[in-house]
Amino acid sequence: MLKSFTRNYEDNSTEAGFQFTFYCDVCSDGYKSSFIESETYKKKGLLRGVGQGASILGSLVGGRAHNLGYGADRASNVLGERFDGRSPEWQKEHETAFEHAQNEAKQHFHRCPSCNKYVCDSCWNEDEGLCVSCAPRQEVFVAKARADAMKRNIEDAGKTATVWQGEIESKTTICPVCGKPAGTGKFCNNCGASMDLRECPKCGTKNALTVKFCNNCGANLSEAAAPAAVPGKCPACGEQNPPGTKFCGSCGTKI
């Protein structure tokens, strides 16, 4: 059974040759070892190209290619099935190549004495001799703390911020004349009818024009006396016209 210096690795070997990827236990970036041709495969005269496009030289790779992350037991079972049927010579080459790959990859990893994880150079705090999970770099931790504090300050300020300064009041939303949405103005957007609130004659509370009973005291608003007509004032738009005018000069409504 192959025993790696880290449990987090992937075997990329094929019948044509051997290659392995070892991953950082923190960020999952990896290092792929140099490709080693199989001598037994070459003797068969079957080698076409170098390992079916495999990299000849070792290289750093970003992220976990297949998200395998073998543990010791799982690696034994999965790889055993994958390479089942290979010749004893190939199996011996495989083990030897794995040892070479580990020696090559170890130069790119550090073992944290605190958590025992194997990490890449980017995840190693060289000043403290620990991985960044156990000992974050000071400048990075300070920057993160400042960013977290900024977000909290913004959220706290947002809770107390006044973002609307309108008045909380009743408004007629449906025109009692045309039955369509009246808009937010004093007159209906569709027919021009006045949207002034109706005042309760009993308690003085203002109610929407469509309300039949006062929202405050329950008085019957339909029994309220109609307001005295103002000479020359248009009943639709409220425009004040000269005395004797028969039709409103603003909207054309009969006075």
pLDDT per residue as tens, the chain (255 positions)? 567 788 889 999 999 999 999 999 999 999 999 999 999 988 876 545 444 455 667 787 776 544 444 444 444 444 455 677 789 999 999 999 999 999 999 999 999 999 999 999 999 999 999 999 999 999 999 999 999 999 999 999 999 998 877 766 656 677 777 778 877 777 888 888 777 777 888 888 888 777 788 888 999 887 654 454 567 788 888 888 887 788 888 888 888
C-alpha 3/C-alpha 9 separation (Å) is: 10
C-alpha 82/C-alpha 46 separation (Å) is: 20
Under DSSP, is residue 61 helix (H, G, I), strand (E, B) or coil? Answer: strand
C-alpha 208/C-alpha 203 separation (Å) is: 15
- Domains of the chain, residue spans: 9-131, 170-224, 228-255
Residue 212: burial class (beta carbons within 10 Å; 0-12, 13-18, 19+): exposed
Cα separations in angstroms, 85 against 15, 45, 80, 210, 225 = 11, 19, 9, 87, 103
